[in-house]
Amino acid sequence: MTRLTLVIAAAAFLALGMAPVRAGTTEDATAAYQRGDYPLAMRLYLGLADEGEPMAFSILGLMHASGQGVPQNFTEAARWYRLAAEQGVAVSQASLAGLYFEGKGVPRDVAEAIRLYRLAAEQGDASAQFNLASIYEGGRGVNPDYTEAIYWFRRAAALGNPSARYSLAGMYQAGRGAAQDDVRAYMWLDFASSTGWRLAVNAKNKLAKRMTADQIVQARRMYLSCLESGFELCD
C-alpha cells in the first residue's frame, strides 16, 4: 500500500479504538500506539487479539503492513486483516482488498479485491468506494464500467472524499458514465477545491474559462442545493 493509504488506514483503525471494549486494556494499547511506543502496543494488541477483539486484529494488520514495532510483513498483515474482515470490519476489508489488488502478501487477485472493496463500500467506507470506482473507471484488471464508476465516486463524494469529488468532475467533463456536463463538473470541482487542494483549484479555474457566467451561477446554485440537502440533491 502507499504511504497515504497507510496514513488513512491508521486514522480509521485508531477511530475504532475510541470506543473501548475493555476498560484499561484497550485504552492502554491505543495510547501506546498513538505515542509511538509500538513494541508495547504490539504486546497489548496481541493480548486483545487472543481474546478475539476485531479491533486488535485490524491494528495488528496495520502494524505489520507499515512495519511499526515489527519488520514489515505483508503476509502477516494479510492474515490479521483477514481475521478482522471476517468479523465485518470495513476498514480491514478495504485494507485486505488493497493487498489482493497489489499482490502484496497474497497472490494478486483483482476479483477478490473487488469483492472485498465492495463489502467495505456497502458499509459506507469512503476509501473503499473510491478505490472500487477507480478500478471500474480505469479498467484496472476488469473491463471499464463507467456507470459503476460514477455510482461509487458519487457515494464517496457524498461522504467528503476529495479525490472522489475530483474524479467525479472529470467524468462529467468527459461524459463518461453520464452525459457531458460542465456545470456539474464545476460543482464537484467546487467541492473538491473547498479545502484549498491546488490540483482541484487549478482544474476549476481552467474549466471556468470555457464556461459562461450563467453556467457558473447555475453550478453554484447546484452546489448550495447539494450541500443543503446533505448530498441528496446533487444531480
Q: Mean pLDDT lowest for which of 18-27, 55-64, 99-108, 114-123? A: 18-27
Which amino acid is residue 158, in one-letter code? A
Q: How many folded domains does the chain comprise?
A: 1
Distance (Å, rounded) from C-alpha 11 to C-alpha 154?
Answer: 23
Does residue 7 surpass a pLDDT of 80?
A: no
Q: What is the dihedral of CA 7, 13, 19, 25, to 10 degrees?
A: -110
Distance (Å, rounded) from C-alpha 159 to C-alpha 205?
Answer: 24
pLDDT in tens, 66-76: 999 999 999 99
Residue 57, C-alpha cell as written in the block:
486484529
Distance (Å, rounded) from C-alpha 59 to C-alpha 40?
Answer: 13
DSSP state of 108: -
Q: Is residue 208 part of a domain?
A: no
pLDDT in tens, 207-220: 999 999 999 999 99
Q: List the one residue out of 215, 212, 189 whose CA is nearest residue 202.
A: 189
Q: List the one residue out of 158, 205, 216, 155 whose CA is nearest residue 182.
A: 216
Contact criterion met (CB below 8 Å) for 99 and 1: yes
**Percentage with pLDDT > 90 across the chain:** 87
DSSP output for 112-144: HHHHHHHHHHHTT-HHHHHHHHHHHHHTSSS--
Q: Is residue 53 part of a domain?
A: yes
Q: Which residue do the cell numbers 473538491 mark?
A: 192
pLDDT in tens, 45-54: 999 999 999 9
Q: Is residue 105 part of a domain?
A: yes
Could you tell me the residue range of the domain that residue 58 belongs to? Answer: 3-123
Residue 225, C-alpha cell as written in the block:
442545493
Residue 232, C-alpha cell as written in the block:
441528496
Q: Is residue 227 part of a domain?
A: no
**pLDDT at position 73:** 98
Does residue 11 surpass a pLDDT of 60?
A: no
**Percentage with pLDDT > 70 across the chain:** 90
Question: What is the CATH classification number for the domain harbouring 12?
Answer: 1.25.40.10
pLDDT in tens, 124-139: 999 999 999 999 999 9
Which amino acid is residue 109, in one-letter code? D
Q: Is residue 189 part of a domain?
A: no
Q: Is residue 27 part of a domain?
A: yes
Q: Is residue 117 part of a domain?
A: yes
Q: Is residue 228 part of a domain?
A: no
Residue 114, CA atoms < 13 Å, CB-side half-sphere: 16
